[in-house]
Structure formats: structure tokens, C-alpha cells
Structure 1
Amino acid sequence: MKRNFPTFLLYAFAFLLLWEWLRPIRQLTNTGHMETFVLFLLISVLSYFLRIKWIWKFLINLMYIMVSINRLYYKEGFFHLSWLQSFFSDFKNNMVLLFARNVEDLSNELRTFLFFVLLWLMVYLINYWLLNRRRIFIFFFMTLVYITVLDTFTPYNAKAAVVRTVVFGFTLMGMLTFYRILAKENVDSEHSSARKWMVPLLVMIALSVLVGITAPKAAPVWPDPVPYLQAANSKSDRNGKSGPQRIGYGTNDSALGGPFIGDNKPVFTTEAEEKNYWMVETKDAYTGKGWISSGATTVPFREGDLVPVSSFPETVETKKETARVVVYNHLQSNHIMYPQGIQKILKTSPVNSKGNLFELENPNERILYYDSRHQPVMPNMYLLEFVIPIYKAADLIKTTAVDYSLVRPEFIKKYTQLPKELPLRVKQLAKQITAGKNNWFDKAKAVESYFSSSDYTYDQKNVAVPGAHVDYVDQFLFDTKRGYCDNFSTSMAVMLRTLGIPTRWVKGYTGGELINKSQTDPSLQLYRITNNNAHSWVEVFFPNQGWVPFEPTKGFSNDVIIHSSGAAEQKPAINQQTTPAPVKKPQQNLLEDTQSSKVAKKSANSKTLWKQTTALINNYWKRVLFILVLIAAVVGILYRIRGKWFPYFLLLKYRLKRKDENVEFAYLVLLDQLNRYGLKRKENQTLRSYAGYIDTFFSTREMTRLTAKYEQYLYHRELPHGTWKDVRKLWENLIKKTIA
């Protein structure tokens, strides 16, 4: 294009489109000095319009970036080398963080530098689309999607932005269409012809925008999909209140409730003798809406030290085990996952020269890891030593009341704390469930077993959020009776507290999925734990036994080892009643019962899945229909414009191929593309005749040369080595001509 006024208008409108990408940033982020970035865009666009040589464009942009960074972040003048040395040192350190995917720790200097580079690339692409492709629809469409999504899901108001974008975009597309027609018809551009094209174009756009703004708006036909999409973030209950998003393991538990969005992304793997629950932290204060910690003090310790968590009394028998934990590098937090009974943390990787430092937060027993600079990091791998308690049923049932000679009154008060607003019927239900039980263990087992009844349903989706004056536990126990682990575990802990039994709420992960045997030690099992394994459960304090885990959530089983009096060691699930060992069945009968149980369980799971699927369709059929229509529309649009993108796909696909036999498949694909383009091969027309027709149409000899190679392969089924490499350029040139 010539450097004239119409071309200047093209670049001006392109700059205004780019500016729309920057406008929301000031409102939605903490980014300041936006005029610096807008000016950079303007300079970059002008350099392309003026056709400055690439080396001068590079130097001008780089100089502007460095001057801006110096002005924003350094006190020294631009020509002082001290700031430049500091910047390059920071740049090197940030590159290490960037390749380690630790984006959160990047410095502001590097973030600014990368933002400048991003804008630079956008200007380059705009110039390519304007000069080479003479098409701007994709960028125009992306801009509309960008601002409308921000308008929908953020505080940014895009009403004016949409109008501006439509005006700029349609003007650009109209002008580029005019220049494409001139180039195709090989006609010189005259000022009068440009005016004849541009005046109606601008009038049409102005009238369209005016009508769009002033005309009455029809009511929407389809239901609004935004609430459905926002259900991933919040869920409304019958009072219209919303709850927090639940994806995997979270740290904020002050407002529980709402849907649980599953995520099968792996978090860590373990190599251990058997499956274990993995703790992260505990919470001690129930607020009526969720859990918080009543306060935290930190206790530092180093690798190899005895971990200062609550241990088991000497009356509890234990067995020692080890486990190796490997953490996936996408996990950003620095908390340690560990089993109950942790003793030591060993062989942490990476190894720090000053020693690996850990901190234990009390009373929530969360273990945090820091590097030598006391920066929070997540270790890639660590080895754990821990003990598994072997409880005795006779000892568990000894506790019938608080013995202040064994435990401090403040401790009991902390772990029996309840809000004053807790409805009385919660305590009444707890008393009703535990009627006839005279010790803490039997009472805990009774409450735990209560949730296994058919009255309560495990559900991750249709989970209510308590209103302003509704208690979380009360709502679950008496109204909804539907929820997931947070509902079950919190309700059990609260009910036991109403009986004066000290409890705490525990968060972490279940044991995960068994993958196979450990490659390093065949005696160990390899388990994978994902975000879907994030879980919560209950621990009850027995003065003579310590903290004992219980699992009230329906469908879950937290195994502990319990010795019955005078019996051999056994390992019943803790959510089963402690009863005398049954008479052992013959092996054949046991096998038959096991198989029957598996068949019955599979049938029950299938029926449950069918019911859940039917209920989901009944509740959300409108939203499902909208999504299906939207997908169909997108597929239809992609099919209609396949001539614009499918040839690029073919170019990429065959560029990666190396075998000479690809000539046959590539040639047939080319015939299909030419047919789609409109150059149809007549019936009974030979390939050579058709190739001549194609070459005449495109004024080339490429199709004839390619056809000769194809016929050579067709008749001899072999080609000289390197033939595909020689003719691929011919094929690519012809494929590019079919882009429309």
C-alpha cells in the first residue's frame, strides 16, 4: 500500500482497535501509567506506517521500553549503568522463575517488560493483517469477544467500547475489502473511486450504529447463560444467597456451601506400604457459616528434626512406616501434606545450602516449607517418617467424661466452642442419636453412623448455601440433608461439641488412586492424589488416646487399626461399629459373597448414575440445549468459513511429513480443495488436461509438474528419494491459492 491518507486511516483505526485492549486494564488491575503503554502502541504503529527499516524500529522500541522501565522503577538516571546492571541481574533471576513456572514471584520490572513485548507482537500482527492479508476480521472478532466477556464477568462497562469497536472494525473491513477488489481486478486506486466507496460505507456504519442504539430492544428469547456459567463460582440457595467456589483444596473455609466443582488434575503421588489420609491443616473455631483458626503461632524446625505436632500417648501402640511424596510442579502453595502420626521430614528436594526450614503453625498444625531466603516454596519431593496408631477397643471406651487431671480446661473450652446462635435442635438431635451410649467413643460412632442412613445424600452440585440468619449445620441436618464432605464432617464435629466432646475439623486429601507397584521399591504401592481427593473429616480427642479420626461422609472410609480385646490385630473401617469378630466362612462361600457383592454394587452404582443423569437433564435442559445450539452454531460457522482456515491446517499437517509416498495423499487432498474452491474437474477429464486448466487459471506451471510426479508414483508405486521434499513447495503454493 502507498503511504497516503487512506492508508493512514487504516493504521489509525487499527491503533484505536488496539487501544480497546488496554482500556479495561486500568479499571480491572493495579496497572498504572497506562499512557506509557498507549504511547508505545502509537509509536509502534507509526513506525510501520512510515515503513522505517526493521533495525531502526527495533532500536526505537527497545529504547522506549528501557527508558520507561528506568522512569517507572529506578531512581538513577537512564545513563547510569548501575540501574542497567540491576535490571539485567533481575532479568536473569526472573527467567529462572519463569522456566520453573513460578509466575507469581516475577518482579514488576519483568512483568512490565513482557507486557511491552506483548504489545509489540500485537502491532506486528496488525501490520501483517493490514498489508499482507488485507483482512482484519479475526482480530476484530477477538476484540469484541474480549470486551464483551469482561463486561459480563467483571465490573468493566463495555457499552461504549462495543460501539467504538463496531465502528472501527467495520470501517477497517470495508476499506480492506475495497483494496482487495482493486488488487484482484488489477485496477489503480484513484481518489474519486476511493471516495465513492468510503462515503456510502461510513454512512451505512453510522446509520447502523444509530439504529442499534436508539431502536427498542426485544426481550431475550434464550435463557441467560451467565448464571449457569457463574455456578462454577457460586450457587444460590432458596433465599438467593451465594456461596464460595469449591475447586479442589482451598484455604478459606469461613463460608462453606455451594457447588463443588470437580478437578482431576494431579497434585502429588506417594509411595507407601498402604493408603493413608493426608492432612494439611485443622480448624478449631466454628462460626455458624464455616471454620476459622482461633489464632496461630509458628514453631520453626529443620529437616530431620522431630516434627512438633501432637503425638500419641504411650498407651497407644504404633508401627513405624515411611512414605515418599512427589509434588507436581503446578502446585503453588508451600504447605506439606502428611499422614497422621508424622515424626520426621527427610531428604527434601531441592536441597538448600543453608538447610531446609519448616514452620509448624499452631494450633492448626499446618506445616510450611521455606527456602534459604525464607521464601515460601513447595518442595518437589520429600521423605516422611510416621507412625500408624493401633488403638485398643478397651481403651477407646474408657472415656466417659472430662478428666481435668489429664487435660487443661482451656483445651476443652477451645475444642467444644460453639456459636451462641446455634439452634437448640442440633443439640437435641445429638442427644437423641447418642441415647443409651455412656462413653465418648460409642457416642462418636453413633453420630458417625447416623449419616449413613438413606435420609442423607452425597451431592457435589445441588448444595445449599446458608442465608444470613441460617446456620450451616442446622440447614444440612434438618432442611437440605444433601451435601459433600464439608457438610458431613462439620455436622458431626458440631454435634459432638454440643455433648461436651472435644473435636476438631481436619482438611487434606484422601488416599488417592492406586497406580501400580513402586519402581524403586516393589514392597511399596504408588498412589496418585488429585484435586478430586481434597477432603475433610473429624478428629475426636480422647485423653488417653490422643486425636482419633472419624469419617462421617457417606461413601468414604477412613481406615484405622483397632485391637479388639483378646483378638488378633484387625483393621476395620472406622465408620463401622466395633463388634466381635464374625465366624469365618468357608473360602468358597466367601468368594461367592464377594462376587455377588461386587455385582450388586455395580448395579446400584449404575442405577444411581442413571438417576443423577436424568435429574441433571430435567433441571438443566434449557442450559444444555443452549450449549448444544451454541456448539452447533460454532461448528456451522467454522464449516462455512473452512476455506479460510482449513488450507492452513493442511499446510501444517503435511509440513511435518517426510515420506515420499505423501505425494499420493497430498495430491488427492489438493484435488478436493480445488473442487471446493470452484475449479471442478469435468467427468472423464484426464489429470493432465485438468492440470493444464488449473495452470491456465492461476497462470503457473505448478499443477502440471505436480501431476507428473503423481502419475509417476501412480504407475510405478515408487519415487526417487527426496521427491516429496522437491515437490512440497509446488503443492503448498497451490494449496495457498485455494484460500478464500
Structure 2
Amino acid sequence: MKRDIQSFLLYLFGFLLLWEWLRPVEQLTKTNHIEMFIIFILLSFAVTFLRLRWIWRTILKLWFILFSLNQFHYQDGFFQLGWLSSLFGELTNNFGMIFAQNWAGLTNVFRTLLFFILLWLMVYLVRYWLLNRKRIFIFFFMTLIYITVLDTFTLYSANVAIVRTVIEGFAVMGMLTYFRILAKENVTSDSLITRKWMRPLVLMIVFSVIVGIISPKFAPIWPDPVPFLKAAADKGGEDKAGTGVGKVGYGADDSQLGGPFIGDDSVVFQSEAVEKNYWKVETKDHYTGKGWIPSGSTLLRFGGDEVIPVFPIHSRVETRDESAALHHFMDYTHLIYPAGIQRVQFERSYDLEMDSTKEKIIILGFDSTPIAPDSYTVQFKVPKYKASDLRQTSVVDLEQINTDFIRKYTQLPENLPERIKELAETITAGETNWFDKAKAVERHFSSSVFTYDQTNVAVPGENDDYVDQFLFETKIGYCDNFSTSMAVLLRSIGIPTRWVKGYTGGEFLKYSDDERQRPIYEVTNNNAHSWVEVYFPNQGWVPFEPTKGFTNNVSVDFTNEDGTPAAAETTAPVTPVPKKDLEENSSKSKESDTSFTFNGIWLSIITFLDQHWKWILLSFVMAGGAVGIMYRIRGKWIPYLYLVQFRLKKKDENIGKAYLVLLGQLERYGLKRKEDQTLRNYARYIDTFFASREMSKLTDRYEQYLYHQKLPEGSWMESRELWENLIKKTIA
């Protein structure tokens, strides 16, 4: 019965340690029904503890696995055996995919089965370590590493898990040590001995845990790596929730802005056009205090050859017709288009569906499902605005602008800090019209107090407003920070504004091969960008560029009809600066700055790992293989190190350490000393094996040193030859 109680306690702690491996799985992966896997582990330990015959243990586990597969993946009842034929067919197909190395093609049913098999093996290993070897330190240590790595590099919080694991690990290791001592000393366990051992063990664990909890903790030196590693989720994916952190690129979810990102040179498309253009994807109109969401959705469907029903440029604005050809390299099903788009031409006949709120246009195939064409041509109008016309709007004219329209595009959260509006009024003081106010706000962000940075960017806390934090606290950010802040500032003083997402013009690649010789620009994820559009009743939506270091290609004529300047400010379109260039300029300026940031070092490390992970993985595999081989043949090369080490030693006392080294080498060679064997008997055994008297002579010298702690002067020099001869015999 005592044996069963001991086994029960060991199994219990083994189960708890293995459970710690499953706790993060449901949070960090798409694995559901995690409770079934926990029950399977419990069942596996239970049938082993009850000492059922192996055949019954196997039947019970297989039954549970089949039952779980049926519950997870099949509609038929468990006893309706028709689903088994489907299961076996699926398993056959998956084994074929394994042989074909098509790992991505493995089905969820097969992945679930593999997970059960993995847990089965883990339970067996834990049982073997606990009952046979009575050692669990390696598994306990790996469990701690597992949960601490997840706590550091993922969203999983292991604060409580670490405490649980320490308690479980110390308890089971203490029990195993107790059982090993009993077995080694051939002592019969009784309740008194058990209490004498367990009481200090419990007190030690409780004391260690309490001290660890109440002790002061140093603040982390390195920045939190989670925002950087979340780049693996790739913000460039349309279907993934945007969190404001990750890799640079287009993402559909902007409800939570903020945080750093890393660069991405992946090519999105190439454009063949007369000049660089800002390329739109969608707009957002509702600011939440943390980011942007659309206020609603109204879908319009129309033919690909029809005029695109986006908000038009006002008829009073002078325009010229242009076209551009886009060649896609990513499977985006949305249209990427310039402002003023009129029509789009595809190689095939596609329909289009536009969300009129976001002006996001989806391309539909023949079966009305979204499709990603390789290329298309857009026809659009390029406006040339006049400052004199833009300055005509100074107040809201309800005859020109609908009340609902004003409410929609001046919306702000009720809890928006009042100091944002006060700042907007201060910036625009003295300006009498919307255009000059917008330009004043745009110029405000070119001040030296604001810094463009993609890494040292804050994530707003639960009680922080995204814009308020940027304007008054951090003043460090990238396009999302600048554009959102300008939109909110203008809205706070009643000017209709919306937030726009898309891409800057990209990098010049080459000239086209046709007779037109038009420049071709390459647009990557690094060119993903956001900016602002301000509404003027007599002009339409006009783009503004508040992000420091960027300039859009909007043409504004600042002269009057008689040719005199309309204002002191005269500007000409400037080639937009993409994010990649800005990163390079920013890095150059940082090189000249003597300030040191851990964020920059961390970003460099993550970027290097992201770009070279295959070679790094291969290097680790090769290094691991080399270490494994060296460990396996350690008996061949370690003796040479010992020979060099002791050849340089002169003191007679070295015989003690050298003799122990020799015993270890003989054991590696295969001449293991028995537990109850004396040194003299063992020395005779070695001499018989090697047909010599060297081991006995060396043992006499060692025992003389061991018992008298003194040797005649020069004894080590005489003994070293015996020692070296024996070492060399183990190498041959």
C-alpha cells in the first residue's frame, strides 16, 4: 500500500507538470477542446497507476483517442461506424503527404491524432523518469524554460504558472531524492522517517516561494520583445487583426494602433505610370480613441468597365487624364488605386464591389468570390488645385454640406482630452479658412519636437488616448501617429476629415520596354502608408501629408489669376519619400547621435533573425550534430586533454586528482568498477585486462597519498609515466 501511495503522489505531480505544457496551447494556438487532451493525460496516468495489463491500457487509450476524433471532426455518432472508413481513408492520404513531404497538406484530423500520440509518449517518458530512474530534474528544467520563454516572447502570462511549476518541481524532486536514499541504504520507510523528511521539504518550498514573491524585482533592461515577434503574424495579412505592431504592410484592422514594427521588403506591386502616385486602398471615418473603424457598411456592386463610384473631384477643379498599369505580386483581392480614379480595365471581365463608407473596392470572379488579378490598368484624373479656391471655405455651409456628413466626418470620442482641441485652436489661431488651418496643422508636425521612428513607439494603455499620448507625451511615431493626430486635431475644430490607408509611390525600377518608355516603380510593404484627406465643399476630398519626412504629389497653385502670389507660401510637388528611405535616413541620423537604445539593438537582432533564420537553423543543426558526435567519441579525445593538462603539473599532490581522472576514463572505456569492489581488486582487474602491473603500482602510490597525505618528493614525476601509459591504452 505504501508503494501505491508513493506512486500516486509521483503520478500526481507528474500530471501537474505535464499539464503546464498544455495550459498555453489553447491561448496561443487555434487548438480547441483542450480539456479532452488533459483528460487523456489523466487517463494515461490512471491506467498505469492501477497496473492494468498493457493490452487493456492500450485499448482504453485508443478508444479515447477515437472517441475524441469523432467528437472533434465528425458529425456521425461514435457508434455509427461509417465515420471510421472516412477516418482510415484520411489517414492513408495523410501518410502519403508525409512521404511526399507535403507538411502543409496534413489535415486537422491527422494533426489531432499526432498530438494524442505525442501526449502518449510524454506520459510514458514521465512515468519512466519518475518510477524507473527516480529523476525528473531535466523534465522540470525544460518545463521552466518552456513557460518562461512563452512568457517572454508571447502574450502568455506565466506569472502564476512559474510559481506552480516551482512548487510541483521542488516537491517531486524532494520525494524522488528521499526514495533514492531509502533504496540505496536499504532502509524501510515508515511514517516517522517520512515525516522527518517531508516536513523540512515542505517548509523549504513554502519559504522559497514566499521569499521569491515578496522580494523586490528589478525592472527589465531590454524592451518587451513581444511587439517585435508579433511581426511573425505579419500585419501585411488582410485577414489578421491589426494591432498596430508587427511588420510594416497593409492590414485591414486598425482598431488598435500603436507599437513598433520592422521593415519588410516584400514586393506588393509594380506601377507603370508617368509619375509617382499615392495609392489608396481604403478610408476610415470613426475614431475610437485607440484607432479607426468604419462607421457602417453599404455595398455597391457594378461592372468592371463602369465608372468607379468613389467620391468625385469637384467639377471646378482643373484636372488632366492619366493612366497607370499595375502588376501585382501579392494575392490581394482589393483594388489599389490612385485618387481621382475613373475606370479600371482587367484582362478578363470581373465585377467590382465597393464599400461606400471605406471606398474599399473588392474584385469579384465569375462565382462572385473575391479574386486577385495579376495586373490591371487604372484610368484616373490628376487634380490641380488653386489655393484661392481652397481658401473660400471658412465656416460650415449647411446648404453645401449635409448635416449627417458633417457629423460623420467630425466625429470624436466623448472622452477625448480637452487639451487636444485647445492645441488645435492654438495652432490655427489667426487663420480664417479651412485650408490655411489644415496647412497650419500639417506644418505643426514638421517641428523638431516630433520624431519619426518605427521602433521606439508606444502602445497606448487602457486609459490612454492614442492621439493625446502622441501629441503631449511621446511625440515619437510613424505615419499612423501623424495622420491620425492631424485628423483628430482638425475634427476638434469642426473641419471634416477622414483617414486614408494605402502606399506611397515606391522606388524607381526601370523604364518600360515599349515605345512610351514610362518609368516603372516598385512598391513594397515598406511603402505602406497612411495620410489625411480634408473635405472642401467646392473642391472635394483633398489629401494632406502630415508625416514628417513625407511629401505627397498634390499640386496646389498658389498664384492669383493675375499671376501674383496668393500667399507667401509657394510649394511645388515633391517626390514622396518612402518608408524605406526614411528608415535609412533615420538610421544615419542615429549613427551621429551618441544616444544608446536597447530598442535599436533588439530590432537589429530580430531583423537579422527574420532574414537569415534558415541559415541560423541549419547552423544550429550542424553544430548540434557536431556536438553530439564529439560527445559520443569523447573517450577518444578527452584523454589527450588530460595528458596535456597533467604533463604541465609538477606537484606530487596531483596524483590524487589524476587517479580520479583515470578512473573516469577507464569507466568510459568500458572497464567499470563495481560498487563493492576495492581499489586493489579493481587495479588487479585492470592489470589483468591490459596484461601489466601499472595500475597496481599506481594504486599503491594513490593509497599512500590518500591515507598519509604525503609522498616522497618527486613521486608524481615517477607515477606520471604509469598514469600516462594507462591513459594511452584507453585511447588505442
TM range (shorter): 0.5 to 0.7
Whole-angstrom distance in 2 between the partners of 1:534 and 1:560: 18
Report the CA distance between 1:449 and its aligned residue.
Answer: 1.9
SS of equivalent residue, structure 2 residue 328? strand
Which range moved further: 224-233 or 287-296? 224-233
Contact 2:322/2:382 (CA < 8 Å) preserved in 1?
A: yes
Match of 1:292 in 2: 293
- Give aligned pairs, total: 593
CA contact (8 A) 1:17 1:168 kept: no
Tell me what 1:363 maps to: 357
Query: Could you say if the C-alpha distance between residues 167 and 119 of structure 1 is closer, same or farther in structure 2, counting changes exceeding 3 Å?
Result: same
Aligned pairs for 1:425-444 (under 5 A) are: 430=424, 433-434=427-428, 440-444=434-438
**Which residue identity lines up with residue 246 of structure 1 in the other structure?**
V
Distance 1:20 1:137 in 2: 15
Amino acid at match of 2:329: V
Q: CA deviation at 1:326?
A: 1.6
**Cross-structure match for 1:394:** 386
Whole-Å separation in 1 of the counterparts to 2:433 and 2:477 = 29
Letter in 2 for 1:484: Y
* Mapping for residues 124-523 of structure 1, pairs under 5 Å: 126=126, 136-147=136-147, 153-154=156-157, 157-158=160-161, 159-169=163-173, 171=175, 193=186, 207-214=200-207, 217=211, 220=215, 222-225=217-220, 229=224, 232=227, 246-247=245-246, 248=248, 251-254=252-255, 256=257, 260-265=259-264, 268-273=267-272, 276-287=277-288, 290-300=291-301, 307-313=308-314, 315-327=318-330, 338-341=337-340, 343-344=343-344, 346=346, 359-368=353-362, 382-387=374-379, 389-394=381-386, 397-398=389-390, 400-401=392-393, 408-418=402-412, 430=424, 433-434=427-428, 440-459=434-453, 461=456, 463=458, 465=460, 468=463, 473=467, 476-477=470-471, 481-498=475-492, 500-511=494-505, 517=510
Shift of residue 25 of structure 1?
A: 6.3
1:13/1:172 contact within 8 Å kept: no
- Distance in 2, matches of 1:667 and 1:24, equals 36
Deviation of 1:412 after TM superposition, in Å, equals 3.8
CA distance in 1, matches of 2:339, 2:388: 18
Q: Is the 8 A contact 2:148 2:158 kept in 1?
A: no
Distance 1:30 1:608, change over 3 A: closer
2:531 counterpart residue number: 537
What residue number does 2:522 align with? 527
Counterpart of 2:654 in structure 1 is none
Q: What is the rounded CA distance, in whole Å, between the counterparts of 2:147 and 2:378 in structure 1?
A: 53
| Structure 2 residue matching 1:162: 3-state secondary structure | helix
Structure with higher Rg: it is 2
Encode CA deviations 1:560-592: one digit per residue, 9 max, x unaligned: 45678799xxxxxxxx9534899xxxxxxxxxx
Separation in 2, partners of 1:126, 1:679:
41
Post-superposition shift, 1:448?
1.4
Distance 2:335 2:132 in 1: 54
Letter in 2 for 1:298: L
Tell me the TM-score normalized by structure 1: 0.60
Amino acid across the alignment from 1:165: G
| Partner SS for 1:318 | strand
Seen in structure 2, the aligned counterparts of structure 1 residues 400 and 161 have a Cα distance that, compared at 3 Å, is same
**1:504 shift after superposition:** 0.6
Seen in structure 2, the aligned counterparts of structure 1 residues 118 and 464 have a Cα distance that, compared at 3 Å, is closer
2-structure distance, mates of 1:465, 1:134:
50
Give the C-alpha shift of residue 552 in structure 1: 0.4
- Pair 1:279–1:59, CA change in 2 (3 A): farther
**1: CA distance, partners of 2:329 / 2:190:** 66
Matched residue type, 2:170: V
Q: Distance in 2 between matches of 1:581 and 1:462?
A: 30
| 8 Å contact from structure 1 (residues 416, 503) kept in 2 | yes
In 1, distance between residues paired with 2:227 and 2:147? 21
Partner of 2:727: none
Deviations 1:591-649 (A, max 9, x none): xxxxxxxxxx99996454454734x47xx99x99xx9xxxxxxxxxxxxxxxxxx9996
Kept in 1, the 8 Å contact 2:406–2:496? The answer is: yes
Distance 1:291 1:299 in 2: 22
C-alpha distance in structure 2 between counterparts of 1:337 and 1:99, whole Å: 34
- CA shift in 2, pair 1:265/1:456, >3 Å: closer
Alpha carbons 1:396, 1:545 under 8 Å: kept: no
* Whole-angstrom CA distance in 1 between matches of 2:636 and 2:441: 73
The residue number in structure 1 matching 2:669 is: 698
CA contact (8 A) 1:345 1:383 kept: no
Structure 2 Cα separation of the partners of residues 281 and 147 of structure 1: 40
Deviations 1:693-715 (A, max 9, x none): 98996259xxxxxxxxxxxxxxx
Structure 1 pair 285/697, CA: closer, same or farther in 2 (3 Å)? closer
Give the stretch that moved more between structures: 554-563 or 435-444. 435-444
Residue 319 of structure 1 deviates from its aligned partner by 0.9
Shift of 1:223: 0.6
Question: In 1, Cα distance between the equivalents of 2:256 and 2:14?
Answer: 47
Q: TM-score, normalised by structure 2?
A: 0.61
Task: Give the letter for the 1:166 counterpart.
Answer: F
1:462–1:76 Cα change, 3 Å: closer
Q: CA RMSD in A?
A: 6.1
Name structure 2 gaps, 5 residues minimum.
229-241, 562-567, 575-582, 606-618, 649-663, 672-729
Counterpart of 2:294 in structure 1: which amino acid? S
Q: Which amino acid aligns with 1:262?
A: F
Counterparts of 2:351 and 2:176, CA distance in 1: 59
CA contact (8 A) 1:396 1:542 kept: no
**Which residue identity is paired with 1:279?**
K
Cα distance per residue 1:312-349 (max 9 Å; x no partner): 45642231001122228xxxx9766554455437469x
Unaligned runs of 5+ in 1: 179-188, 234-242, 349-354, 568-575, 583-600, 628-645, 657-664, 685-692, 701-736
Structure 2 partner of 1:652: 625
Specify the SS of the correspondent of 1:613.
coil
Whether contact under 8 Å (1:15, 1:42) holds in the other structure is: no
d(CA) in 2 for partners of 1:68 and 1:544?
A: 66
Percent sequence identity is 38
| Cα gap change, 1:140 to 1:277, in 2 (>3 Å) | farther
**Do the aligned partners of residues 217 and 697 (structure 1) sit closer, same or farther apart at CA in structure 2, a change above 3 Å counting?**
closer
Is the CA contact 2:244–2:254 (under 8 Å) kept in the aligned structure 1?
no
SS in 2 for 1:327: coil
Residue 147 to residue 38, structure 1, CA distance change in 2 (3 Å): farther
The whole-number CA distance in structure 1 between the counterparts of 2:510 and 2:92 is 41
Q: How far does the alpha carbon of each residue in 1:220-239 deviate from its partner, in whole angstroms, 9 at most, with x for none? A: 46514399538849xxxxxx
1:468-520 CA-to-partner distances (Å, cap 9, x unmatched) read 5x765456545654443333222322333355543211134445566x55999
User: Alignment partner of 1:552: what SS?
Assistant: coil
1:146–1:324 Cα change, 3 Å: same
Partner Cα distance (1:565, 1:41) in 2: 82
Greater displacement, 665-674 / 458-467: 665-674
Letter in 2 for 1:550: F
Q: Which moved more, 1:484-493 or 1:218-227?
A: 218-227
